[in-house]
Amino acid sequence: MEQWAERVAKIRVIGTGVMGRGIVQVAAASGLTVELADAQPDAVANAIDYVSGMFDRLASKGRMTAEDAELAKARLRPVDGPLAPADGVDLVIEAVKEDLAVKGELFTGLERVCPPETVFATNTSSLSVTSIAATLADPTRLVGLHFFNPVPLMRVAEVIPGARTPEWLPPAVCDLVRRLGHQPVLAPDTPGFLVNHAGRGLGTEALQILSEALCSPSDVDRIARDVLGLKLGPFELFDLTGLDVSHAVLESIWSGFHSESRLRPSYLTAPRVAAGLFGRKSGEGFYRYVDGVQQVPAEPAAPQVTTSKQVWTDDERLAKLLSGAGVTVERAEQPSDDAVILLTPLGRSTVDAALATGLPADRTCGVDPFGGFGESVGRLTLAVHPGLDAEAGRVAWNALAATGRPVTVVRDAPGSIAQRLLASIVNTACAIADQRLALPADIDTAVRLGLGYPRGPLAWGEEVGSDVVVRILRGLQRTTGDQRYRPSRWLTERAGLGLPLTETGTTPADLS
């Protein structure tokens, strides 16, 4: 089946909802004739009008020529139904309801009307490709092809071979994905495939932080955006996706991997779903929405202080930042008897750090060192523990606010917010790599493009330092006793050997 992707000329897309329309648009724009089919005949006409309008809009913005827009529109072909005669159709892509019985019935019918050489692809986001293929008389003709919404903008697609998919088909479909202008990644036929599996690192840890009442959802989101550089915080993302959808994915991936503790969801989501707090589409989720506009709580300003005290810190970078803002910083090896102490612990609480060094806890606050204290840092995080003198805490807050950076005040806990979020993101990706579910490059590409992270999780861990991530996770595991924080072997081995997280290293096959 050499050069199959180059020979594909006509495809059929079944299901003309948001996802189906997106697939139709990129396929027609790439020169393919596209048949549109839906169980509802009116839906096909509406979809053609919609996609044609998108081509006109792109032409008006100069993103394609008027001639190319007209040619693309001419490639849109309505058919009478999903099971209309399919002579000359090289590929059928279904984008229908996420229901195994519905998809199985559709593909069983397609086997009767499609030539034997027609390839079938399912755009399922959560069902087993192997289970769908098992409904066919010939399961070797089906492969998973999972696009992301909105398809024209999210330029990545997972190619998922089932247990009976022939070896030639996944690379051929990858070539076709490239022809559509998207980046393919090979993903395993496991719960969540690749992107949704890797994405559990952020969401599950954010929910865990919220369940510990360390700070509010908006605080977590601000730290995720301003410290880690994410486009959307985890709770903004839950609201955008819809918690009803995310809750089902969280539960299915966790149960699919037989209650793997790293993927454990939270007790918080089920009652919120039962209450209809889905997010944007219901008008309220972790945020409220008025006329579609997110209502974000205002950040409190630093309170006034009644005393003038110097501060002392164990981090020279923080000392330099504070001094540059006009804050009086002690430079002695140990703090004076009345100085407010700012510690920068990794993977442990401020209380543990203070007690371990013999410093007075009542004058000691924590400041998250993640992201460093250079000019690029957008936010500082202050950790407050129960034994802290309130006035010392206010002095610390004012000192950090003097830098001009926004300050988020959170409850003290092992590892601060940004540390925990990033360590979970990296560790989840490392676990995927360690199980050989996907190649390191595919993991990073899929997550970066599919989730919009500033970099792939393995490259991100490498940038921060695999030893730093291990230190955070081991500190969390030791303090909490929770196995969700056990470091992946992929992570610990490479940290110990000094090998990159982004490379597989030597395997038995290399000895042959």
Which among 177, 140, 130, 172 is positioned nearest to 32, based on CA atoms?
Answer: 177
Locate tokens 């932080």: which residue? 209
First-to-last CA distance in the chain? Answer: 29
| Residue 67 annotated as catalytic | no
| Residue 126 annotated as catalytic | no
Question: Is the CB of residue 339 less than 8 Å from the CB of residue 309?
Answer: yes
> 326: phi > 0 → left, psi -120 to 50 → alpha, else beta; which?
left
| Residue 158 annotated as catalytic | yes
Tokens of 483: 């196995």
Report d(CA 371, CA 368) in Å as an integer.
8
Which among 145, 138, 143, 94 is positioned nearest to 115, based on CA atoms?
Answer: 138
C-alpha 268: how far from chain center = 19
Report d(CA 182, CA 320) in Å as an integer.
46
| Residue 105 annotated as catalytic | no
Locate tokens 């401020």: which residue? 350
Which candidate in 125, 246, 349, 398 is catalytic?
A: 125
Which candidate in 94, 146, 246, 427 is catalytic?
A: 146
Question: Is the CB of residue 322 less than 8 Å from the CB of residue 365?
Answer: no
Which candidate in 123, 196, 266, 466 is catalytic?
A: 196
Report d(CA 206, CA 286) in Å as an integer.
12
Locate tokens 């599919």: which residue? 450
Q: In the β-sheet with 33-37, what is the strand arrangement from edge to edge?
A: 76-78, 33-37, 10-14, 91-94, 119-122, 142-147, 156-160, 183-186
Which candidate in 35, 94, 128, 158 is catalytic?
A: 158
Which among 373, 355, 374, 372 is positioned nearest to 364, based on CA atoms?
Answer: 355
Catalytic site positions = 125, 146, 158, 196
